[in-house]
Structures are given as C-alpha cells and as structure tokens.
Amino acid sequence: METAAYIFAIFGLFLLPLTLYIFPNFYLKIRENKKYDLSFRYFLFFLVLITEIWFYLNHLYLDDKQHAWQHWQNYFWLEFCNFSAVTIMILLIKPNKLFMDCTLPLGLIGPCATVFFPANLSNMSFTNYWYWQDMFGHITIFFSYLFLYTYGYTKTRFDKTFIQRSIVYTTIIGLGIEVYNLGFGTSFGYKAVAEIFIGQQKEIYYFLFVISWIWPLLFTIYYLIVWYFKPIYSLELKQKINDSWFEKISKKIVRQSRKIKQKQ
C-alpha cells in the first residue's frame, strides 16, 4: 500500500503539470479570457489555501498527540513548502516578476523534494488523510508555479537577473530558518531530507549537509528545467511565442516520418 501510494504521488506530481505542455491551446484559451483566467487562478488559490488550513488544523488539533497547540513555535511552521504556499497564493492573486524571480526555485524544488523524500513513509497510504493533504497540497503548489511561469503571467525568463534574485532570496530564507532552528530548538527545513542520508544528527549537521550537497544538486536540475521549459505565452505580446516541448517532439516525429516516406 505504501509503495502504491508513493508511486501514485510521483505520477501525480508529473502528470498534472505535463498537461500544461500537452494541451497548450486549452490553457491559452483560459489565459486569453479574463473571466476564465481569474476563475482558474482563484480556484488554484483556494485549493492551496484549503490544504494549508487543513494542515494546521490537523497538526495543531485533530492529530494532536503532544498538545502541539500549546507551543507557539508550532504556529510558525517554517518549512520551505509553507513559504511556497504563501508566495504562490500571493502570485495567483497578483502576479509580479520580481516576486516570481525570487520564489520560483522554492516553489518547484520544495514540492518535488517532499514528494520524492516523504518525512514519514508510514503516512503514504490511500486511507491516511495526511497523505491526501500533503501530496495534494504540494502538487497544487508545483502546478500553480509552472502555470504562471509557462503562460506569461510575469516576464520571468532564464537570465542573469533571475538567477541572482532566486539565489539571494533562497539564501535569506534558508539562513533565516536555520537561525530560527538553532534559537528555538526546532528542526524545520532540513531534517526531513537530510535524515534519509545521514541518519539522526544535530540540527547544524542537517543544515550543512543540505546546503553543501542537496541544494547544489537540486538547483542545477531546477535551472536546467527552467532553461529548457521556456514560457509558451508572452505577457507583453499577448501571443504564443514558443512551442511546448511536446509540440516540438511531435513536429520532429512528423518530419522524420515524412522523410522516411519520401525515401521509400
């Protein structure tokens, strides 16, 4: 059951965003129609909001085995994905290039890391409400960021400014979380992933392991993805500017098929 639920979550993480590239005309129609556009963005906004409310209710009250609601630190759940949930809700309401440049890395890396490296495998069950809240919330955040980026809601492009802003923002958030951890004895941000590789250690070792090994790897993959998956729609031109990778592959297959037929 755990394996099936884990595989299902990974498929969901990739299959839903893939629709952005497989069905570009569908999403372009949403993008070009103001009524559809606002409705779809508000729909995504409320999905993220509901999962965040669900998370805090479960954590503080419904699944309260250690009286979590009595400790003020639990009201400031400083995981990277919680930051991403807040930032994507802001972007869905008011898209902004500076904000997108800064927050896009965590908006994509955080959900991926959570789905691939779940903190508690025992929760990976179709009958566990934590599973649906956790996986559904992260997949929605991931999809929402890609939707805004791919369909031109901001002018975010893969360039020097984008790289600088994203690194500075992520560094500030990352260091801030670690200072909070060391100051208040919490383990946000790093333990869930690092513990898989190095076992139980002091909090500072989780931090050092993640920033020296995990972050460089994830950021390299992330920048390659952003560089390859270019925006399809132009905000300023209000038109399609790039074919999706799916369309490019389809065109290559068609051209190759024609060449083979001509040779025959």
User: What number of other Cβ atoms are within 10 A of residue 152's Cβ?
Assistant: 22
pLDDT class for 148, splitting at 50, 70, 90?
very high
**pLDDT score for 72:** 63
Task: Confirm if 180 and 186 have CB atoms less than 8 A apart.
Answer: yes
**pLDDT score for 10:** 87
Mean pLDDT of the chain: 82
Contact residues for 96 (Cβ-Cβ < 8 A; gap 6+): 154
**pLDDT score for 56:** 79
Which of the two residues, 135 and 94, has the higher pLDDT score?
94
Contact residues for 163 (Cβ-Cβ < 8 A; gap 6+): 223
- Using one digit for the tens of pLDDT, what is the confidence trace for 1-22? 577 888 888 888 888 888 998 8
pLDDT surpassing 80 at residue 156: yes
pLDDT surpassing 90 at residue 102: yes
**pLDDT score for 8:** 86
Looking at residues 122-131, what average pLDDT do you find? 75
Written as six digits, the tokens of 261 are 């037929």
Main-chain phi, psi angles of 238, to 5 degrees = 55, 45
**pLDDT score for 62:** 60
Task: For residue 240, list its beta bridge partners.
Answer: 233
Question: How distant, in Å, are the alpha carbons of 123, 130, 140 from that of 17?
Answer: 24, 22, 9
d(Cα 84, Cα 142) in Å, to the nearest integer?
Answer: 9
- Using one digit for the tens of pLDDT, what is the confidence trace for 67-96? 666 666 666 777 888 889 999 999 999 999
- Using one digit for the tens of pLDDT, what is the confidence trace for 42-64? 999 999 999 888 887 777 766 55
- Using one digit for the tens of pLDDT, what is the confidence trace for 201-251? 888 888 888 888 878 888 888 888 788 778 888 776 567 776 776 677 777
d(Cα 127, Cα 124) in Å, to the nearest integer?
Answer: 9
Question: How distant, in Å, are the alpha carbons of 49, 66, 118, 187, 214 from that of 193?
Answer: 25, 23, 8, 11, 9
d(Cα 102, Cα 216) in Å, to the nearest integer?
Answer: 17
